[in-house]
Amino acid sequence: MKLPWYVISKGSILHHFPLIGKSTAQSLGPIILVPDPIYKDLQTDSPHPKHIALLIHEETHRKRQKEMGILKFAYHYIFDSKFRFQEELLAVKEAMKYLKKNKISFDFDRNAKFLSSYVYLWPVSKEYAEKELKKVWDEV
Ligand SMILES: [Zn+2]
């Protein structure tokens, strides 16, 4: 698929930055950074549905940052763990809609682990994250 201008590959240089990392995507203001292998897959005629779901997830963050203003969003995202978790749930929810529509399962265990991990500065327990994710899945 043709990607919008603001979706950018992390290339090989950004992979060396610790927090930006190799395996995760980020939405930074108007820009969405994705790992290079995912970027390449998204440009093919039939990208992996999980990669499309990831793009939807990041698009949601991008939209929210635009609505709130990047500085305000970043401030809350960094200092308020509750806000951070809620924003993640919002983004996950949009991705879940796509997954459900395409009858693709959601890995609750893996996602709950990730959402409760150091990547997000341990906002919630894994059990809580899993419970909330299941609630959202039932809603979409
Ligand atoms: Zn996210």
Q: How far is the CA of 44 from the centre of ligand 1 (A)?
A: 23
| pLDDT tens per residue, range 68-88 | 999 999 999 989 999 999 999
For the entire predicted model, the pTM comes to 0.89
**Domain ranges (residues) in the chain:** 7-139
| pLDDT tens per residue, range 23-66 | 788 898 899 999 999 999 999 999 999 999 999 999 999 999 99
Of 30, 97, 24, whose CA–CA distance to 59 is shortest?
Answer: 30
What pairs with residue 9 in β-bridges?
Answer: 34
Portion of the chain with pLDDT greater than 70, in percent: 92
Q: How far is the CA of 57 from the centre of ligand 1 (A)?
A: 6
Q: How far is the CA of 92 from the centre of ligand 1 (A)?
A: 7
- Asked if residue 84 lies in contact with residue 114, where contact means CB atoms within 8 angstroms, the answer is no
Q: How far is the CA of 97 from the centre of ligand 1 (A)?
A: 15
Q: How far is the CA of 126 from the centre of ligand 1 (A)?
A: 16
Q: How far is the CA of 88 from the centre of ligand 1 (A)?
A: 5
